């Protein structure tokens, strides 16, 4: 800050430097502090909004997963009861009484006399002799 005489008699002019105000305080650093405070406050609000949004998103995802788990549990109980009912139905179908009733429904009847069939004789090379002769195997005999 400097002083100079005014062109008017009895008057003194005060000349301020670029960075001083009337009281002699520096104006620019105060504005910087104010703008820094505003910027810090704005950054804090933005950060708080982001954290809040992330929290709400995680809670929503957790809720959705909880509903999916509940739906899967209901489906599992339904499938278990269906499997039990089908198992009981299969047991009824495979029972001897049900088989005989179905056979009677098709016109089948139990045999009046049971016959036991003897086992076929041991396999011999006799049926294969013509084939072996055609292939040129003289050791098969009969060629």
pLDDT value, residue 76: 97
63 in any annotated domain:
yes
Give tens-digit pLDDT for 59-86.
999 999 999 999 999 999 999 999 999 9
Is 86 part of a structural domain of the chain? yes
Q: How far is CA 103 from the centre of its chain?
A: 50
Flag whether pLDDT at 44 surpasses 80. yes
Residue 33 lies in a domain: yes
60 is a domain residue: yes
Torsion over CA: 23, 29, 35, 38 (sign): negative
State how far the Cα of 22 lies from the Cα of 91, in Å rounded to an integer.
104
The alpha-helical segments, DSSP class H, found in the chain are: 27-94, 96-105, 129-135
- Whether 101 maps to a domain, the answer reads yes
The pLDDT of residue 99 is 84
Single pTM value for the model = 0.40
- Per-residue confidence (pLDDT) for residue 92, from 0 to 100: 85
- Say if 118 falls within a structural domain: no
pLDDT class of 16 with cuts at 50, 70, 90: low
Number of compact structural domains in the chain: 1
pLDDT for the residue numbered 137: 56
Q: Give the pLDDT score at 57.
A: 97
Where b means 16+ CB within 10 Å and e means fewer, 79-107 reads eeeeeeeeeeeeeeeeeeeeeeeeeeeee
45: containing domain: 29-108
Whether pLDDT at 2 is above 70: no
Give the residue, 53 or 39, on which the prediction is more confident.
Answer: 53
Phi, psi of 114 (to 5 degrees): -90, 140
Inside any domain, residue 113: no
Per the model's pLDDT, the better-predicted residue between 61 and 7 turns out to be: 61
Contact call for residues 2 and 18 (beta carbons, < 8 A): no
User: 51, 53, 55, 75: which is closest to 63 by C-alpha?
Assistant: 55
């Amino acid at each position: 800050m400097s002083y100079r005489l005014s062109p008017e008699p009895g008057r003194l002019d005060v000349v301020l430097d670029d960075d001083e105000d009337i009281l002699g305080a520096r104006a620019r650093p105060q504005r910087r502090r104010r703008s820094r405070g505003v910027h810090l406050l704005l950054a804090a609000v933005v950060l708080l909004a982001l954290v809040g949004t992330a929290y709400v998103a995680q809670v929503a995802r957790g809720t959705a997963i909880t509903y999916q788990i509940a739906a899967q549990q209901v489906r599992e109980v339904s499938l278990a009861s269906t499997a039990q009912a089908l198992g009981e139905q299969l047991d009824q179908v495979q029972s001897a009484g049900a088989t005989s009733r179905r056979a009677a429904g098709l016109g089948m009847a139990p045999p009046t006399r049971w016959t036991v069939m003897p086992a076929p004789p041991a396999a011999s090379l006799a049926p294969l002799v013509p084939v072996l002769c055609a292939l040129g195997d003289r050791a098969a005999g009969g060629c």
